[in-house]
Amino acid sequence: MWNFFQKVRSNPIYLREQGRWGEPNQYFATLMRYLPLIIIVVLGVSIFCGSYQLTQLLGIGEAGGILFLLLCLPNIVIQVLTWIGIVLAPALTAPSVVEEMDRGSWDILRLTPMSTIEIIVSKFFGSLSRLRIWRALMVLSVLYAVVVGLGTTALGSAASLITGSASGLTQTTGWQTVGVAVLTTASTILRPWLEIGFAGLIGLTLSLWTNSARAALIGSYAVIMVYRMIINTIVWTLVVVLFIEYEFEAMAFGAGAFSLNIVYFISGGLLFWLLRRRALAIDNGELLHDFAD
C-alpha cells in the first residue's frame, strides 16, 4: 500500500493536479475569487451561533459569550478551514475526469502504463493537495485536541467528585472519564480530514458517473449537504440516546461526536470501493461516458 501511494506521488498526473503546471478548472478558479467572502460568512456564522449557545448555556451574556469564544479561537479557525475544504474539494475533483473526456485527453491518459485506479487516485490526492490548508489544519487540530482532551479529563474528574458526593445521581467512573477524553480528542483531530476527504470523494465519484462537470459539481454539493444533515442529526441523536439509555451519560456526547467520524470513514471506504469497481470495469473495456448522445 505504501509503495502504491509513493508511486502515485511521483507520477505526472498527480504533479499536474497538484499545480506543478497547468491551470485549475474554471469552477475552482471562480470559487477562489470568492474565497474571502466564504471565510467571512463561515467565521460570522461560527461566532454568532457559538456566542448564542454559550449565552443560553452559561447565562453569561452576549459579551461574555463572545469573550469566551475568543478562548476557543483555534476551534473557530478549524471550522473555517474545514468549510473551505468542503466547499473547494468538490470543485477540484468533480470536473477532473469529465473535463478530461471533454478535452479528449482521457484516452491519452489511458495509454500510459498506469492502471485506471492509479489515474483516479492520482487525480484525487493531487487535486486535494492544491488546497493550502493542510499544515495549518494539522497543527491547529492537534493543539486543540490536546486542550480539549485535558479539559474533558479535568471536567470529568470534577463531575465525578460532585456526583459521587450527591445522592441519587449516577457516578461518573474513571474509565468513563478517560473514554470521554479519548473520544473527544480523536474526534477533534479526525473530523475535519474525514469531512474534506469525503467531499472530494463524492465529487470524484460523480465525475465518473456523469457526463457534465456542472452536473457533477451540483450533485456533489447536494449530496454533501443532505448527508451532513442526516448524520449530524439522526446518527448523532441515536448514538447519544443509546448511551444515555444504557446509563453511560458521561460518554454520550463524546460517543455521538466520534460516531460521526466512524460514519464518514465507512462512507469514504464505500466510495473508494465504488471507484475501484468503476476503474476495473473501465480497464475491462467499459466506456466511461457515451458522449455520442
pLDDT exceeds 50 at position 274 = yes
CB 249 within 8 A of CB 170: yes
In whole angstroms, what is the distance from residue 112 CA to residue 126 CA?
A: 17
Give the per-residue pLDDT at 22: 65
Give the per-residue pLDDT at 283: 77
Q: What integer is the mean pLDDT of 203-216? A: 89
Place 232 in a pLDDT band, splitting at 50, 70 and 90: confident
Please indicate whether residue 81 or residue 7 has the higher confidence score (pLDDT).
81
Burial (CB count <10 Å: 0-12, 13-18, 19+), residue 139 = exposed
Q: What integer is the mean pLDDT of 94-114? A: 83
Q: What integer is the mean pLDDT of 13-35? A: 77
Q: Which of 24-33, 99-108, 241-250 is predicted least confidently?
A: 241-250
Give the per-residue pLDDT at 172: 47
Place 218 in a pLDDT band, splitting at 50, 70 and 90: very high
Place 116 in a pLDDT band, splitting at 50, 70 and 90: confident
pLDDT exceeds 90 at position 221 = yes
Tens-place pLDDT, residues 157-177: 554 444 444 434 344 455 556
pLDDT, averaged across the chain: 76
pTM comes to 0.80
Q: Which of 67-76, 89-98, 109-118, 137-146 is predicted least confidently?
A: 67-76
Grid cell, residue 66, equals 463572545
Q: Which residues of 61-92 are buried (b: 16+ CB within 10 A; e: fewer)?
A: eeeebbeebeebebbbbbbbbbbbbbbbbbbb
In whole angstroms, what is the distance from residue 52 CA to residue 271 CA?
A: 37
pLDDT exceeds 50 at position 54 = no
Looking up cell 468503476 gives 278
Q: What integer is the mean pLDDT of 19-34? A: 76
Q: What is the DSSP letter of 212?
A: -
Looking up cell 470501493 gives 273
Give the per-residue pLDDT at 164: 45
Give the per-residue pLDDT at 79: 82
Question: Percent of the chain scored above 90 by pLDDT?
Answer: 17
